[in-house]
A and B are shown apart, each in its own frame.
Chain A
Amino acid sequence: MTASTLQPAINVLPSKKTPIILSAIAVIVFFCFGLLGNSDSAHFQLNSAGDAFKLPELVFPGKASNIVIGLLLIGLAVYSWLQRKKSKLVATWMIAIAAVLFVLSFLIWVVSGADITTISLASLLAGAVVLAVPLVFGSLSGVLCERAGVVNIAIEGQLLGGAFTAALVSSLTKNAFAGLIAAGIAGALVSLILALFSIKYVVNQIIVGVVLNVLVSGITGFLFTTVMQEDPELYNKPVHLPVIDIPGLSAIPVIGPILFKQSVIGYLMYLAVFIVWFGLFKTKWGLRVRAVGEHPKAADTLGIKVNRTRFWNVTLGGIVAGIGGSFFTLVAIDSFTKEISGGRGFIALAAVIFGRWNPIGAFLAALLFGFADNLQVILTIIGTPVPSQFMAMMPYLVTIFAVAGLVGRSRGPAAAGEPYVKE
């Protein structure tokens, strides 16, 4: 589904929103980051330890480069107004370029004004991908459920359940892969409750989701105190998944560590995004799922078992999110602690919406949110004047803008949230 299919008929002038947003961005960059910016230079290192060859350090003089970027953005904004006059839409790639330029100029502005004016771009990006892994799995779970017409607010609970079970099973069996599988099962169990209550007993899906988050948080917190803390050596010392380093390829600067030096879950992430995208948009199964999510009655008339499809999709979503949750305890952190998922399930939900219910869109949105998350950490270290809390707010603010239709139009599957009962 491309953005153009969502736009109104052609003889109407396209919405002013895109040109207005582009103009606003251009003005902010030109004046705030450019003219009022710091004249120090921002240094970006591209190399990390173990790279095959050296890349030069990127140096941007703060004020000058932001004035240039500002002028470029002003050019884009003017172009978008002209396009609108011709009743044409601004191409998506141009909006993407504007977004990248904006992020770059923000980085230059913030780093050139900091106490330490050098950051490692390589580790910023690599860290962003690491932080995005659970978000990506969570958002894929959301996409799978919502495309079939079930709203999944319980992503947080699925991540948390996966993290807990992975830690427990991996500690007991001394086998990380057993933990990984158990995490998938735990996520599926949370999903089964969601499916049972929302499909069989037609309880409102949002109620079930909200309550499930509380339930999983309570159960894992309870068992953490009563079981894990009694004997942490036995119950809460998970064996970690190995990081698989593909020789040669992983030494490529910047992209090497991102693509070729990941844990098993990291590689699974790329695979899962592709499989879910391919499955939903290129197979008969996907067509049926989307039909169920958009118009269950029509799908039923054509002989698709609506509730069975929903049931399996919700279960599958649970498995995916559960595996994502295992990332916390099998890769990122040494042991399980209460509320280890820390609200990331809700950021994943935001990624689903910002990515317009498309697996690849959700993947990119999750990467963006991971980037914001990691940037916040790095900015605290280099000591910028921007409070880190405002960086942390970014995913949520962006989502508010997205659902309010200020950045493009987000429209979910038509029947999401509606239970289906045959008449």
Chain B
Amino acid sequence: MSETKAPVVPDSEKPGNDLLKQITQGPGLVSVLGVIVALVIGGLLIAITDEKVAQTAGYFFARPTDFLSELWRAATESYVALFNGAIYNSAQGFKPFLETLTVSTPLICAGLGVAVAFRAGLFNIGAQGQIIIGSVLAAYVGFAWHLPLGLHLLLVIVFGLIGGAIWGGLVGLLKAKTGAHEVILTIMFNYVAVYFIDFLMNTQAFRRPGGTNPISPILDSTAVFPSIPGSRLHLGFVMAVLLVIFVSWMFKRSTVGFEFRAVGHNPEAAKTAGINVARSTIIAMAMAGALAGAAGVAQVAGTEKVLTSGIAGSLGFDAITVALLGRSTPWGTFFAGLLFGAFQAGAVNMQITTGTPIDIVSVVQSLIVLFIAAPPLVKAIFGMNRKKKRNAKLETTQAGAK
């Protein structure tokens, strides 16, 4: 009796097949459509709060064309400004694109961290804290130690990775040893890190000599990534690309990567097959933390060159959306990072030229992730469910035959 009522869920969305498939699979077309729907909703939000649109709505029935053209203008104007600030504009050529690459560098690194944990079946909400601890260590090495060129930057990177790895690895350790849920642990670790950096920035060791503001000394010139003159783009971007290649290699070719995937798919089966699940959990979280720490390095040794308590911004949460949009694959994360980097770089220009608040980026970003996570919804919006219904019938008959 219940079978006829049961919602038929395509294989990729069956809950038993869990988080992983939900994130890693799904047709590309639906992703593109999801992005479009999110952009349209964002555009509508911009339009309905626009003054001129509200004015023309007042006489909508007298002259509907006025209203519609204003609606179109308000929405497209903002997106054009966004594009101009992120990719290309006639005055600066492709220079804004360099800014997009700069902004996406930490997003890609931290997004990779979240993605690696996802693949190992772990939900890493803790990128925020891992970035903070990573950037604290990296920045300290950068301004307090004075070392020769080359070695200094190398140590900055290494310490940043270690900082993140410790903060992530602690969560892995607690999860492996006590069974505590990593989502709760990472959220709590984030706040501990937030207050910890706040405390550090109020100590003499982290302040500029004689300064009263909570801002660190500028990192030594030997400790920062070389950058392209006239832009903020720095070699940290190359580090991000190398990390993408490394993670991609790890999942495809290495034992550790294989173990991560096995544990992520089915911890019980992995255990039976002789994989040490606890060890894998700890390593995965430490690695996720190290990658987030790399984002911290990119911030302090590349983009900002100083440490402040707001160094991580909203990177930690953006990283989650990046990993989700990238379906937790290394290159998917890379391109998702570029897309969201472009949104954020362009949003600055958009706010200046059209007055549209930067917050619209969070709205569009989160909508994109929501829509991509629920393909049936996007299909329903575009009326693509007809084919599915036929399949549905087929599946119910099969289910009945079981």
Contacts and interface: CB of A to CB of B under 8 A. Distances in A.
Interface of A: 151, 153, 193, 197, 200-204, 206-208, 210-215, 217-219, 221-223, 225-227, 343, 346, 349-350, 353, 387, 389-390, 392-393, 396-397, 399-400, 403-406, 418-423
B317 interface: yes
B268 interface: no
Given A350-B188, A400-B188, A419-B15, A153 B195 contact: no
A214 B178 contact: no
B122 to A, nearest CB: 11
A409 to B, nearest CB: 10
Interface in B14-54: 14-15, 19, 22, 45, 49
B395 to A, nearest CB: 12
Contact of A206 (B123, B189, B192, B363): B123
Interface of B: 2, 5-7, 9, 13-15, 19, 22, 45, 49, 123, 125, 174, 177-181, 183-185, 187-189, 191-192, 195-196, 198-199, 202, 317, 320-321, 324, 356-357, 359-363, 365-367, 369-370, 373-374, 376-377
A204 B370 contact: no
Contact of B9 (A211, A390, A421): A421
**Chain B interface SS verdict (over half):** helix
A211 B359 contact: no
Contacts of A200: 7
A396 B188 contact: yes
Contacts of A218: 359-363, 365-366
A89 B34 CA distance: 55
Which of A193, A201, A221: most chain B CB closer than 10 A? A201
A252 B19 CA distance: 55
21 contacts: A197-B373, A201-B374, A202-B13, A203-B370, A203-B373, A203-B374, A204-B373, A207-B324, A208-B373, A218-B362, A222-B357, A226-B356, A346-B191, A387-B202, A400-B189, A403-B180, A403-B181, A403-B188, A405-B180, A419-B15, A422-B2
A61 B263 CA distance: 57
A227 B49 contact: yes
Contact of B191 (A193, A393, A405, A420): A393
A221 B351 CA distance: 13
Contacts of B180: 400, 403-405
Contact of B15 (A227, A350, A418): A418
Nearest to B14: A421
A349 B184 contact: yes
Contacts of A346: 187, 191
A396 B185 CA distance: 9
A130 B149 CA distance: 55
A390 B195 contact: yes
Contacts of B2: 422
B49 to A, nearest CB: 4
A387 B199 contact: yes
Contact of A421 (B15, B187, B188): B15
Contacts of B199: 387, 389-390
A130 B189 CA distance: 26
B400 to A, nearest CB: 12
Task: List the 10 closest pairs (A to B, CB-CB), nearest first.
Answer: A218-B362, A221-B359, A218-B363, A225-B357, A215-B366, A389-B199, A201-B374, A403-B180, A226-B49, A222-B359
Given A204-B22, A389-B196, A217 B362 contact: yes
A403 B184 contact: yes
B301 to A, nearest CB: 25
Contacts of A197: 370, 373-374, 377
Contacts of A221: 357, 359, 362
Contact of B185 (A400, A419, A422): A400
A151 to B, nearest CB: 8
A212 B321 CA distance: 11
B317 A214 contact: yes
B320 A210 contact: yes
A197 B374 CA distance: 7
Given A203-B22, A219-B359, A421-B14, 15 more contacts: A153-B183, A201-B374, A204-B373, A210-B317, A215-B366, A218-B366, A225-B357, A226-B49, A350-B188, A390-B195, A399-B184, A405-B178, A421-B15, A422-B6, A422-B7
A242 to B, nearest CB: 32
B357 A202 contact: no
A393 B196 contact: yes
A215 B363 contact: yes
B53 to A, nearest CB: 11
A390 B195 CA distance: 7
A225 B50 CA distance: 12
Nearest to B16: A421
Given A400-B174, A405-B178, A225 B317 contact: no
Nearest to B2: A422
Contacts of B359: 217-219, 221-222, 225
A400 to B, nearest CB: 5
A210 B125 contact: yes
Contacts of B324: 207, 211
A389 B376 contact: no
A215 B202 contact: no
Contacts of A389: 195-196, 198-199, 202
Contact of A207 (B15, B179, B369): B369
B370 to A, nearest CB: 6
B223 to A, nearest CB: 27
Contacts of B22: 203-204, 207
Contacts of A406: 178
Nearest to B376: A201
Given A206-B123, A207-B369, A403-B180, A214 B376 contact: no
Nearest to B361: A218
B204 to A, nearest CB: 13
A214 B321 contact: yes
Contacts of B376: 201
Nearest to B201: A389
Contacts of B179: 405
A390 B179 CA distance: 26
Chain A CB count within 10 A is highest, among B49, B178, B370, for B370
A145 B317 CA distance: 23
A206 to B, nearest CB: 6
Contacts of B356: 226
B15 A202 contact: yes
A264 to B, nearest CB: 30
B366 A202 contact: no
Contacts of A202: 9, 13-15
Contacts of A349: 184, 187
A131 to B, nearest CB: 16
Contacts of B15: 202, 418-421
